[in-house]
Amino acid sequence: MAEARADVPVAPEADHDLEALLEYLRDVRAFDFTGYERADLVRRIDRHIEKVGADGYGAYTSVLEANPGEFAELFDTILVDVTGFLRDNEAWEFVASEILPAMVAERGPLEPIRVWSAGTASGEEAYSLAVLLTELLGEEQFRTMVKIYATDADEAALVEARHARYPTDRVLKAFGQERTHRFFEIEGATSVFRQDLRRSLVFGRHDLVQHPPISRIDLLVCRNTLMYFTADVQRQVLTNFSLALAGGGYLFMGRSEAMAAHTNQFEVVDPNNRVYRRATGEAGGSSHPDPGRAEAMIRAAFEEAPVAQVVVDPAGVVIAVNRRARTTFGIGQDAVGQPLGDLPVSRRPPEIQSLVDEVLAARRPLSVRDVVWMSPSGGQEHFEVALLPLASDGELGVVVNYTPIGG
Ligand SMILES: C[S@@+](CC[C@H](N)C(=O)[O-])C[C@H]1O[C@@H](n2cnc3c(N)ncnc32)[C@H](O)[C@@H]1O
């Protein structure tokens, strides 16, 4: 049984074991709970460890190592996915009557509207937005003008969200008869959100702590999600939100995270309903950018770099993969935490790991000309592969750049 409890101070050795468990999850399973608010996290992990019957965090780490399915169980316990349609109805009524019409009025008739539901869980929040925007714009305009990005860290929740099937009694309770009949196909005890309108929604896995933000967002809805993070991580995520928002873009938060948004990055639009706007004049001008914002911009620059880049630690384990690398080599964010040698990107050149070792040993860059990458579909691409040593706090890693050659 775990020693740490939410209501008593954590014993130092339990504290150490807990941190070791969190580091194991971050380094080996690529999910970073180290920035989650401790009391709630400890309560959930303890409850789970007790259920599994492991004797403390150290023993539980061994259970995780031995049993590949165990991580999903723990993950499910930690990520609370309670949600609902138009959850916290009053605030949604305010958004429907004041914010959405203002947002639409502020744009040109042909400008697309980009909405992001971050921490969307099983999708109710995203479909609530779809209902309100369709009512405001009409179906044709909604279909052509609106994109709703609905993201979460929990893939299982996203599977439910994509299915769009919910108990009919819950749908009726939230939307009433008329709206339910307009927006859902009722199939007895369950109802499915209309497929033609669903095409404007894009569901995808996105980790608010580790991934760069989606860009040019006009309305960002993030509710009942940031409260799981420590104050530092909340600040970092809010900085990402200010980068995500287009000029004048709105941020709609939940009761729990509202306080975190009281920074100079946002103007308060309505404190009771927790609606904010990206502060104007924030984006340029200042000769001393706030460090959190600068860091987020550097991360975004890595993500958007025009060449494929993979960063590895001294053991050759992948730390980061940018967008171009993911699309070029057909790998996902789950590459993070795996040895570079195990990824398809390493099939050519096969000696990539020994090159990494060489760069680290010599502490100087190396490049290999005309490396041929064979895609799984049989196509060929030619790259110059450059490996550059990185120094950070005395530790070295390597960034591998894949620059395309010729056509
Ligand atoms: C309580 S639900 C909130 C759902 C919805 N926004 C609402 O207010 O009804 C919290 C969601 O945050 C997600 N979450 C937790 N940590 C996350 C992270 N690092 N990145 C993205 N989503 C995360 C969980 O998976 C869960 O679906």
Cα 31 vs. chain centroid, distance in angstroms?
11
One domain, residues 65 and 120:
no
**Starting at the edge strand that comes first in sequence, how are the strands of the sheet with 217-222 ordered?**
201-205, 146-152, 113-118, 217-222, 245-253, 275-278, 266-270
* The predicted structure's pLDDT at residue 334: 76
Contacts with 151 (C-beta within 8 Å, 6 or more apart), sequence order = 116, 117, 118, 119, 120, 158, 203, 204, 205, 206, 214
* The predicted structure's pLDDT at residue 1: 34
CATH of the domain at 324: 3.30.450.20
CA-proximal residue: ligand 1, atom 13 (nearest): 119
CATH of the domain at 43: 1.10.155
Least Cα distance to 32 among 366, 368, 320, 278 occurs for: 320
234 CB within 6 A, ligand 1: no
* The predicted structure's pLDDT at residue 164: 98
Residuewise pLDDT in 10s, the chain (407 residues): 333 333 434 455 668 889 999 988 888 777 888 888 888 899 999 999 999 999 999 999 999 989 878 888 898 888 888 899 999 999 999 999 999 999 999 988 788 999 999 999 999 999 999 999 999 999 999 999 999 999 999 999 999 999 999 999 999 999 999 999 999 999 999 999 999 999 999 999 999 998 999 999 999 999 999 988 888 888 889 999 999 999 899 999 998 776 676 778 899 999 899 999 997 654 443 445 555 566 677 777 888 888 889 988 877 888 888 888 888 888 877 788 888 877 777 655 557 778 888 888 878 888 888 777 777 677 778 888 888 888 755 567 888 888 888 75
Domain of 50 in residue numbering reads as: 12-78
How many angstroms separate the first and last alpha carbons of the chain? 61
One domain, residues 70 and 134:
no
Expressed in angstroms and rounded, the spacing between residue 84 Cα and the centre of ligand 1 is: 12
401 CB within 6 A, ligand 1: no
CA-proximal residue: ligand 1, atom 10 (nearest): 225
* The predicted structure's pLDDT at residue 199: 96
One domain, residues 236 and 108:
yes
Two tokens, residue 292: 């959190």
Q: Do the beta carbons of residue 271 and residue 286 sit within 8 Å?
A: no
* The predicted structure's pLDDT at residue 349: 56
**123 φ, ψ (degrees, to nearest 5):** 100, -10
Q: Which atom of ligand 1 is nearest to the CA of 84?
A: 9
* Calpha distance 225→3 (Å, rounded): 27
* The predicted structure's pLDDT at residue 214: 94
87 CB within 6 A, ligand 1: yes
One domain, residues 181 and 241:
yes
Contacts with 184 (C-beta within 8 Å, 6 or more apart), sequence order = 166, 168, 171, 175, 191, 192, 193, 194
277 CB within 6 A, ligand 1: no
Q: Do the beta carbons of residue 324 and residue 330 sit within 8 Å?
A: no
* The predicted structure's pLDDT at residue 407: 52
CATH of the domain at 226: 3.40.50.150
81 CB within 6 A, ligand 1: yes
One domain, residues 166 and 271:
yes
One domain, residues 94 and 138:
yes
One domain, residues 236 and 147:
yes
What is the count of structural domains for the chain? 3
157 CB within 6 A, ligand 1: yes
* The predicted structure's pLDDT at residue 282: 46
CB atoms within 10 A of CB 195: 9
One domain, residues 98 and 72:
no
Q: Which atom of ligand 1 is nearest to the CA of 209?
A: 19
One domain, residues 157 and 248:
yes
One domain, residues 38 and 98:
no
Least Cα distance to 202 among 262, 107, 126 occurs for: 126
* The predicted structure's pLDDT at residue 317: 83
